[in-house]
Structures are given as C-alpha cells and as structure tokens.
Structure 1
Amino acid sequence: MRLTSFTDFGLRMLMRMASAPDRAFSSAELAAEFDLSRHHLAKIMQRLSQAGLIDTKRGGGGGAILARPPSEIRLGDVIRHLESGQALVVCFGADAGECSLDGRCRLKARLKAAERAFLDDLDRSTLADIALDQRPPIADVATLHNRP
C-alpha cells in the first residue's frame, strides 16, 4: 500500500506535535520545518481538525495543538482520516466505472482483506509510540562525536 504525500506530511506533523503535546505549533513553523507550502499545510491541518485530532486557534499565541493525548490517537484511525477518498485500486473508488472482470475477479476480495489487515495492524500503535524525541537527529549526534 502506498500512502499519499498528504498523509505522509500529516503523520510527520502529528509526530512532531506529539513530541510536545502541550505546545501549540504555528503553521509557519511547521511549514518551514517540513519545507512545505503553508497553503498545503493548511489543508492537512483542516483535515486533522475535522477528524478531531488537532485543535487550531487563529491569531497571536494561536496555532495547532493535539486534541487528545498521543496515547489515545491510533495510527490506523489517522490513516483512515487522511486517506479518506483515496481508493487502494481504481475499482474500490466511487468512480470505479465498468470493470471487464466484474463478477469474476478474485483479487478484489484479497486486496480489501490486505487493506483491512494493514489498518488493523496500525491500530495496534498510537501516536505516542512514534512521537519524535527531543534528541538531535542521528547525523547531528555523529557530527558531535567526530569533532576534534
């Protein structure tokens, strides 16, 4: 299964926010951190907000904050919300059209089962399990240790 970049960035944002769950993050800060346009980031934040995963506040001192503790946010649910409307294969979509294999295809049931298994497995983990730690990235640690 391949996730969209929309979902990829949404997960990254949530991982970052889970590293400091009591802190509000501005859209400018997150956009700069992920080298993403503020417009695209705003769309992702809107979807996360609609899903009840984050709360947003406009203006000075505003920003986005997790709506629930990271330990209560299941990864499968995050993927379901962010990938909403993205069919795994064309025949799963609302606009599937006519399939010449319809009624004879045995792949569709297997793909649906695999998709369910994928999401069920992700439901075993929470955002707390994948929250970013506050240590510098590995490359930065290696640089610190190699200084003369």
Structure 2
Amino acid sequence: MHLSKYTDYSFRVLMYLGIHNDRLVTIAEVSGVYDISKNHLVKIVHHLAQSGLIKSVPGKKGGIKLGREPKQINLLDVIEITETNFDLAECFTAGGYCIIQNNCKLTKILTEALFSFFKVMGKYSLADLIRSDGLKSQIRKMAV
C-alpha cells in the first residue's frame, strides 16, 4: 500500500494545525514550513474544508484551523477522504483480469492485509500524531 502525496500533505497540514490550534494559520505559512507548493496546498485545504476536517476563515486576517478537536480526527477518516484507490493489485480493479483468478488466494490475502491496515489506522487520531513534544518543538522551530 502506498499513500499518495496528497494524503501525506493532508496529514502534514492537519498536524501543523493541530500543533498551532490556538491561532489561525495561513496556507502560505504551511507552504513555507513544509516547502510544498502553495497552489497544491490550496486544493488540499479546500478539500479538507469541504470534509469538515478544517475551517477556513476568509479575509485579510483570516486563515485556517482545525474543524474538530485533534482527538476527533481519525486517521482512517483522513485516508478515506484523500485516497481514491485502494487496489493493491490488478485483480482488484474493475474489469481487472487474471488468468489464475479463480484459483488464486493472493486476492484474499491482500484483502485481509488491507483491512488490517484500515483497522490499525482506525485506532489512531490526529491527537496521537501530535502528542510528541519533540515533534511540536521541531514544527514550531520550522515556523519561525
């Protein structure tokens, strides 16, 4: 399983907002800290705002902030919002064909592995990601 950059950057935005939960943050700030294209972040922030994970405050003194408490943002929910494809092999795709498909156990094993991944990710929240004082310190230094 490989998570897309879109999901990776979504997690980074959420982590940054979670650590700076006491104030509004700008997209330019996040872009500068993580060295991610501002245009790319605008799309991600828009999508996260549509899903309710973050709130966007318009205006000159506006910015973005979490839409929920960090403990209420489940990591699996983020993945389900940001990923569009969980096909681990060609036989998972619609119309995918494999000549040994009827006798192959790989699909069953990969499905079991995928559901195990979902189960583990579903056990954790954004609060678990930002709990580390070392991470908080590092991200705060990057913001300066």
Return the TM-score normalized by structure 1. Answer: 0.80
CA distance in 2 between partners of 1:48 and 1:86 (Å): 20
Task: Give me the CA root mean square deviation.
Answer: 2.1
Task: Give the structure with the larger helix fraction.
Answer: 2
Find the counterpart in structure 2 of residue 124 from structure 1: 123
Contact 1:86 1:93 in 2 (8 A): no
Which 5+ residue runs of structure 2 have no aligned equivalent? none
Contact 2:90 2:97 in 1 (8 A): no
Find the counterpart in structure 1 of residue 99 from structure 2: 100
Give the aligned residue type for 1:113. E
Find the counterpart in structure 1 of residue 32 from structure 2: 32
Find the counterpart in structure 1 of residue 108 from structure 2: 109
**Residues 53-68 of structure 1 aligned to structure 2 (within 5 Å):** 53-68=53-68
Find the counterpart in structure 1 of residue 91 from structure 2: 91
CA distance in 2 between partners of 1:88 and 1:18 (Å): 31
Find the counterpart in structure 2 of residue 146 from structure 1: none
The percentage of aligned residue pairs carrying the same residue is 36
What secondary structure, in the 3-state scheme, does the structure 1 residue paired with 2:137 have?
coil
What secondary structure, in the 3-state scheme, does the structure 2 residue paired with 1:84 have?
coil
Give the aligned residue type for 1:75. L
Find the counterpart in structure 2 of residue 5 from structure 1: 5
Which 5+ residue runs of structure 1 have no aligned equivalent? 141-148
Find the counterpart in structure 2 of residue 77 from structure 1: 77
1:21-62 CA distance string (max 9 Å, x none): 232221111111111111111121122223221111332122
Q: 1:91 and 1:71, CA in 2 relative to 1: closer, same or farther beyond 3 A? A: same
CA distance in 1 between partners of 2:100 and 2:63 (Å): 49
1:57-94 CA distance string (max 9 Å, x none): 33212222111000111111111211133533333334
